[in-house]
Structure 1
Amino acid sequence: MAAKIILVTGGARSGKSFFAEEYAKKIGEKIAYIATAQIYDEEMKLRVEVHKNRRPLNWQTYESPFHAEVSVQNASEAHDVILFDCVTLYLSNLLLSSDTRLNSAEKYNDIAKEFEKILETAKKNNTDIILVTNEVGMGIVPENALAREYRDFAGKINQLIAARADEVYWVISGIAVDIKKLAAEQGENNG
């Protein structure tokens, strides 16, 4: 069976990571966890600890704030499912480290290529990949240019992944809805 790309999206503290972890357990036995967070303060350290403590001990963790395609390649060699948590943190890492001489379109193209490599690597190695992301575009318009650029990039990257994904779940208040399936059933799937 061909590898699947599964996108799990939702707001902050919506239950998306928990849903993705449970889903990974259902579809695979050998699970790799790609963590993209960088720990800068105590609050973030606590958040990471909560996630670590919730995961089974037999899951292998790859710390990948950058060059995640290498971790996806390595994880694909020994695992049947990769849980990538999360897209928007990885995007933030890439955006904040991008060449400041590039214009917005050039930065986006470089970042989009990174995500394409991640998806292609998982598919090529026949490994299911579950990507967790934040839905950041439903709030107020950010007040500064960098925050607006981040929000815009997150929306576009989420669309890029959703278009390639076999399944897309939106988690709201701990309840997951398969929105790609719903869209297909209603004939409204543009992806």
Structure 2
Amino acid sequence: MQLPPITLAIGGAASGKSAFAERLVRRSGLAKVYFATAQADDADLAARIDVHRTRRSGQGWRTVEAPRDLARALAQIEVEEVALVDCVTYWLSNQIRSDTDIEEEAALLEDVLDQLPAPVVLVTNDVTGGVAPDGDPGRQFQQALGRLNQQLAAQADLVVQVTAGLPLVLKGGAPLPDMETPTPW
């Protein structure tokens, strides 16, 4: 299955977006490179990272840890590879916690995405539903991720909303992989 240059898989927490994105990448037939952005700051996140690692185990994935320097890491991708970034949400959170210029980093990421010689699948959370979080940091994060997701969706060739493991194409068109039984969490 041929992937478009940029695919954005968006959904809520535990929506199945990562598993969906992994299926897309596996079905591309290209060498798979997983760009991991999460850092195991607590036991729950460490356990979730382990679930993702286990799901990819033995399938020929190369993993690149890129919690902050995602654009620079992506720039190293080769033409015969396909990149999976999981996920933009953690990358943005890491940027905010390290007190970097978010707009500058987002612009750098967008520039690199436009220049990649290989397809990339980006996974991100949709945090715009429901009410605004209590407190300034939560609202600022929600607003920053909402803006970044809009920018990435505008740049992407294919945008897929994933809910309950089911994909809904919002933009573009491409053959989606057959549904398979979701991996238990």
> What TM bracket, shorter-length normalisation?
0.7 to 0.9
Contact kept in structure 2, 1:5 and 1:167, CA below 8 Å: yes
Aligned pairs, how many? 171
- What TM-score, normalized by structure 1, do the two folds share? 0.83
The alpha-carbon distance between structure 1 residues 115 and 31, as it changes in their structure 2 partners (threshold 3 A), is farther
Q: Secondary structure at the match of 1:170?
A: strand
Partner of 1:32: 33
> Take 1:149 and 1:28, find their aligned partners in 2: how far apart are those partners?
39
Residue 66 (structure 1) shift:
0.9
Equivalent residues in 2 for 1:10-21 (5 A)?
10-21=11-22
Partner of 1:106: none
**1:134 correspondence with 2:104:** no
Structure 1 residues 112 and 6: alpha-carbon distance in aligned structure 2, compared to 1, 3 A threshold: farther
- 65, 68, 86: which is aligned to 2:67? 65
1:88 aligned partner: 89
What's the C-alpha RMSD, in Å, of the aligned pairs?
A: 2.0
Contact 1:3 1:127 in 2 (8 A): no
Counterpart Cα distance in 1 of 2:6 and 2:164: 23
Match of 2:30, as an amino acid? E
- Quote the offset at 1:141 in angstroms: 1.3
For residues 148 and 29 of structure 2, what CA distance do their matches in structure 1 show?
Answer: 26
Question: Could you list the per-position Cα deviations for residues 16-62 of structure 1 after superposition, in whole angstroms to 9, with x for gaps in the alignment?
Answer: 00000000112242011000001112111110000001114311101
- Contact 1:32/1:79 (CA < 8 Å) preserved in 2? no
Q: Are 1:148 and 2:139 matched, yes or no?
A: yes
Q: Percent identity?
A: 36
Structure 1 gap segments, 5+ residues each: 100-109, 183-191
Aligned amino acid, residue 18 of structure 2: S
Residue type of the alignment partner of 2:127:
V
CA distance in 1, matches of 2:159, 2:126: 12
Q: Which has the higher helix share?
A: 1
- Please tell me whether the aligned partners of residues 31 and 79 of structure 1 are also in contact (alpha carbons under 8 angstroms): no
Question: What is the aligned partner in structure 2 of residue 186 from structure 1?
Answer: none
Matched, 1:22 2:14: no
- Give the whole-Å Cα distance in 2 for the aligned partners of 1:40 and 1:158: 24
User: What letter corresponds to residue 67 of structure 1 in structure 2?
Assistant: D
1:112 pairs with 2:114: no
